[in-house]
Structure 1
Amino acid sequence: MTSEQNGKARATLIGFSAVALWALLALFTVGAQPVPALQLNAMCFAIGGLIGVVWLAATGSFAILRSVPLRVYAFGTAGLFGYHYLYFSALSLAPPAEAGLIAYLWPLLIVLFSGLLPGERLRAGHILGALIAFGGAALIVAKGGISASSDALPGYALAFLCALTWSGYSLVSRRFGAVPTAAVTVYCLATSVLALGAHLAIEETIWPATTLGWTSVLALGLGPVGLAFFTWDIGVKRGDIQLLGTASYAAPLLSTLALILAGFATATPMIIVAAAMIAAGAFLAAIAGRRR
């Protein structure tokens, strides 16, 4: 394996660490209840942004932020804030299972549209692997069944826009490969400000009532809504984006396993089937990525 291949594999692994962190999102969100969604985002993205500030201060790298064009900051902020605002709006207008499943089309869209990126080639194995993994994720996300309703069409539309937003953010980030990952610091802080404004406009402020609640908010800001966006940036810019997209379907599986271990969910045979499908899909995508 060449040094370039080693670097790509390492970046892919770093990117997948974001998926592993996002698997803890549901667990910590349960612990942070009853904090409203937008308020929670404002708090957590502020913590995530502070991670970047501390890192920049420790490395003396603040000057690097001046080299980033304002349009890139606007793009990154729109990606992070837009995705989360659309996601929570979709879940408020449509049944969570259906809306969540539609929103979770983003890994499949990453795989499908990655062939448009310079130096990337989309193969049949990538598509098949992503579809199989999506099927495994669907078993978990829509475990309560699907009952489509015309009244929920606005929510479904927002969920699809949500999927387009995150897949677009991830793919365009690859085109901005020269932009330093430090820019994510600004994305997070700006998203926190926008989320705060939206919260004050439409939500009632409710603070965590227990030590567990505050600990959950801190954990969210440090991991799933903080460090994860920095490692995802590295992965989509320098890693195997097709494999990363397919492997992202492990997030709902890992999330369910975390809830089971914490006692918030029960293990079922469906989990085993879903795990097998997600693993098979990732394997197919990995094999396709090795072919030249």
Structure 2
Amino acid sequence: MTPATLAGCAALLLWAFLALLARLAQPLPPLLLTGLAFAVGGALGVAVVAARGRLGALRQPAIVWLHGVGGLAGYHALYFAALALAPPVEANLLNYTWPLLIVLLAGPLRGLRLGPRRLAGVALGAAGAVLLLAAGAQGFGGGSPAGYAAAAGAAVTWAFYSVLAGTPRLSGVPTEAVAGFCLASAALALLGHWAFEPAASPAVGQWPAILLLGAGPVGAAFFLWDVGMKRGDPRLLGTLAYATPVASTLLLVLAGEGALSPAVLLAAALVVGGGALAATAR
């Protein structure tokens, strides 16, 4: 596994803490929480970029900003809309089709071969994620079609954002530019909060979770993911991404936010097996 692919794995590890930290930051309106976390991540990113004397990396063509801000802000906007309009389990289930889409899009968009062992690994990982997210759900009842469409749109948006980052037109964009994308996404999320959500402000006890979100899952993770998608193996990362919802659930259980059920254990086994199978593919 190359260092760039390992960077992508580190992003997946950080995203496993997203649900736990978001839970600790409750009850904040979702757009406000997203905007504050993006602001922290973007500010830390700009500070690092400035310290390295690389602020010029933020000057990018419009198409680069459209890809970066559209991917980060667009994905989160669609995801939160899905959670608001559709039952959360079903919305999350549809959202987590993005790892499969990344693997499948890596062929036509990046010219990477998909062999039977890799596809079998993806199938096992998908089965584990479906088992975990659908446990206890009673089908796709309730909610509006717009909510399900938003969840599917979120998956497509993140898959295209991830895979397109490594195409010839965008692969040369320096990772430092992600700091600008985070700040722009923060501005859009905070404007959305002002327009659509009731006014709120974090309590003192909520700030540690917000700062950790901005430093990790809504900050450093995007920089690491950019490296992984541009110089790593998107097929392997797409397969290993199925570990994120399982790891996230296990962390919630360890934090006393849930119980360890047989479905969680079986899902973990399927995801680990799928990742191991895909990792051994040539």
- The TM-score normalised by the length of structure 1 is 0.92
Q: Is the 8 A contact 2:78 2:150 kept in 1?
A: yes
Structure 1 residue aligned with 2:70 = 78
Contact (CA 8 Å) 1:35, 1:205: kept in 2 or not? no
Partners of 2:185 and 2:138 in 1: CA distance: 32
Partner in structure 1 of residue 132 of structure 2: 140
Matched, 1:158 2:163: no
Distance 1:69 1:252 in 2: 35
Is 1:65 aligned with 2:58? Answer: yes
- Corresponding residue for residue 208 of structure 1: 202
> Which residue of structure 2 lines up, in the alignment, with residue 4 of structure 1?
none
Determine helix, strand or coil for the equivalent of 1:263: coil
One of 178, 188, 192 as aligned partner of 2:182? 188
Contact 1:11 1:234 in 2 (8 A): yes
Deviation digits for residues 8-29 of structure 1 (CA, Å, limit 9, x no counterpart) = 6111111111111111011011
Match of 1:34 in 2: 27
- Stretch deviating more after TM superposition (195-204 or 124-133): 124-133
The answer to which of 71-80 and 56-65 deviates more is: 56-65
Distance 2:159 2:97 in 1: 9
Identity percentage of aligned residues: 48
Q: Distance in 2 between matches of 1:202 and 1:269?
A: 40
Asked if structure 2 preserves the Cα contact closer than 8 Å seen for 1:97 and 1:142, the reply is yes
| Count of residue pairs brought into register by the alignment | 280
Summarize deviations over 1:160-192 as a string: whole Å, max 9, x none: 011000000001111111110001011100000
**2:99 is the counterpart of 1:107:** yes
Consecutive unaligned residues in structure 2, runs of 5 or more: none
Between the aligned partners of 1:285 and 1:156, the Cα distance in structure 2 is: 29
User: Given that residues 20 and 248 in structure 2 are in contact (C-alpha distance below 8 angstroms), is that contact kept between their aligned partners in structure 1?
Assistant: yes
Give 2:83's aligned residue.
91
- Aligned equivalents of 2:210 and 2:136: distance in 1? 28
Residue in 2 aligned with 1:130?
122
Q: Do the aligned partners of 1:38 and 1:195 also contact (CA within 8 Å) in 2? A: yes
2:278 aligns with 285
1:241 and 2:241 are equivalent in the alignment: no
CA RMSD in angstroms comes to 1.3
Task: Supply the distance in 2 between the matched residues of 1:118 and 1:274 (Cα, whole angstroms).
Answer: 30
**1:118 CA drift (Å):** 3.7
Q: Deviations over 1:113-139 (max 9, x none)?
A: 111134411222222211210110112
In structure 1, list runs of 5 or more residues that go unmatched: 1-7
Deviation of 1:32 after TM superposition, in Å, equals 0.5
Distance 1:34 1:56 in 2: 33
Task: Answer yes or no: is the 8 Å Cα contact 1:34–1:206 preserved in 2.
Answer: no
How many Å separate the matches in 1 of 2:13 and 2:106?
22
> Residue 75 of structure 1: SS of its match in structure 2?
helix
What's the CA shift for 1:143? Answer: 1.9
- Residue pair 1:33, 1:208 contacting (<8 A) in 2 also: no
